Each structure stands twice: as structure tokens, then as C-alpha cells.
């Protein structure tokens, strides 16, 4: 069995798909908990790592400020320590056993691993995305649209910053699935069959 690394649009249901695949395959599932594992292994406080993660807004000024802090005072910035910790944790976990990895540039981090399928989950239906966000985030429709735009911008910029690649570029992935036309169950079935071979 292979591992699965997923990048996904906000509201596409990519997290749900990943969780279903992990359950079907009986393998571990990692998303935000990667931050906790990285914090524990590299001696960064959990509060600090989660705070830094939440502050990633995709803002160019913020990114430049954090990058400038990388070498100030001879110490790495928290952002770089966190990303290094996450990258090393993803590699270590993937080498240990098959697993499902959500976000955190795992598709790029594991791109040379032949035992990993890299997937991009998106939705061609804005209506379905907004509906899902309203349900999962418990926000009004108007706020759901704004949140969707903000989260997707943040993910796009995060991916570009760390990989120097475009987040939605199909060349970065082995498979793309559209939850605008396919159910999350159908997507999970496709990905499960892809990793079980």
C-alpha cells in the first residue's frame, strides 16, 4: 500500500476525502497534528507553533518580515523552524508506514517517493463549496465566501513560498478530483484504489 498526499481547495471536502481514505485503508491520517508532532520533536512550544500557523495570512509583507528574521541574531525564525520540523516529520512518518497527509506541502515534500500518490482536490461548483463551508464552519453564506477566498489565497501563497511552484498546477500532482461533480465517497474510492496497488 502507498501513502497519499493531498492538497485541496477550501470547501472542496478534501479533508473529508482524506479521512475516508485513511479509514478505508486502515492507515494513519495527518493534518494539523503534524504541527504538534513537529513541535514535540524540535522543542518548539505547541502554543508558539499553532500561533505562527494561524498567523500565516499569505500576506507578502508578513512573509518578507518572517524571511528577514530567518538569520537575525543568528537564530532561525519560528516560521522556518516550524516548516523544517513539519517537513522532516512528514518524511519520517512516510518512511515508517503508509499514511494520508493533508496540506503542509506534503505533495511536494514527498514528490520523489515512489510509494506516494499526490492528489489535488478541488470543486468546480462554488455553490457546493460555500454550502460545505457554511455547514462545517458554522458561518453565514456571505462569510463563507469571504473565508473561502481568504483560505485559498493563504494556501496558494503558502505553497508558492515553500515550493516556488503554483498550488493548482496539475504538473504537481498524480491525480486531480473534482468534488463539484464527484461525491466525497466516489473520490475516496478512487484514491483508495490508487494507493492499494
Q: Express each pLDDT in 84-123 by its tens digit.
A: 878 888 898 999 999 999 998 999 999 999 999 999 999 9
Assigned C-alpha cell, 167: 498550488
Which residues lie closer than 8 Å to 59 by C-beta, 6 or more apart? none
* Residue 57, pLDDT score: 45
What is the reported pLDDT for 39?
Answer: 60
Report the pLDDT value the prediction gives residue 87, as an integer from 0 to 100. 86
The grid coordinates listed for 194 are 490508487
pTM: 0.85
Predicted pLDDT at 46: 62
Predicted local distance difference test score (pLDDT) of residue 85: 78
Q: What's residue 98's pLDDT?
A: 97
Exposure b/e, 164-190, CB count within 10 A at least 16 = b? eeebbeeebbebebebeebebeebbbe
| Nearest to 110, CA basis, from 197, 124, 102 | 102
* pLDDT computed for residue 135 by the predictor: 93
Question: Is 191:101 a contact under the CB 8 Å cutoff?
Answer: no
Q: Give bridge partners of residue 118 from the DSSP assignment.
A: 5
Given a cut of 70, the residues of the chain with pLDDT beneath it are 34-35, 37-79
Q: How many CB atoms lie within 10 A of CB 144?
A: 22
- CA atoms of 33 and 45, how far apart (whole Å): 14
Location of C-alpha cell 515512489 = 114
Enter the CATH code of domain 3-196: 3.40.50.300
Mapping DSSP to helix (H, G, I), strand (E, B) and coil, where does residue 34 land? helix
Question: Cβ contacts of residue 93 below 8 Å, gap of 6+?
Answer: 28, 30, 37, 99, 101
Amino acid at each position: 500500500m502507498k501513502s497519499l498526499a493531498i492538497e485541496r481547495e477550501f470547501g472542496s471536502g478534501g479533508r473529508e476525502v482524506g479521512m475516508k481514505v485513511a479509514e478505508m485503508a486502515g492507515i494513519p491520517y495527518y493534518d494539523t497534528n503534524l504541527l504538534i508532532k513537529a513541535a514535540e520533536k524540535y522543542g518548539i512550544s505547541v502554543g508558539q507553533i499553532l500561533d505562527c500557523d494561524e498567523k500565516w495570512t499569505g500576506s507578502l509583507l508578513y512573509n518578507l518580515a518572517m524571511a528577514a528574521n530567518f538569520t537575525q541574531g543568528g537564530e532561525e525564525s519560528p516560521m522556518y523552524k516550524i516548516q523544517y520540523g513539519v517537513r522532516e516529520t512528514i518524511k519520517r512518518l512516510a518512511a515508517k508506514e503508509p499514511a494520508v497527509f493533508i496540506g503542509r506541502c506534503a505533495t511536494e515534500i514527498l514528490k520523489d517517493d515512489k510509494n506516494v500518490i499526490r492528489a489535488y482536490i478541488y470543486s468546480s461548483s462554488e455553490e457546493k463549496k460555500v454550502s460545505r463551508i457554511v455547514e462545517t464552519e458554522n458561518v453565514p453564506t456571505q462569510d463563507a465566501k469571504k473565508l473561502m477566498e481568504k483560505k485559498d489565497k493563504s494556501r496558494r501563497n503558502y505553497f508558492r513560498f515553500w515550493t516556488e511552484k503554483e498550488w493548482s498546477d496539475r504538473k504537481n500532482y498524480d491525480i486531480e478530483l473534482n468534488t463539484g461533480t464527484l461525491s466525497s465517497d466516489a473520490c475516496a474510492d478512487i484514491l483508495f484504489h490508487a494507493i492499494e496497488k
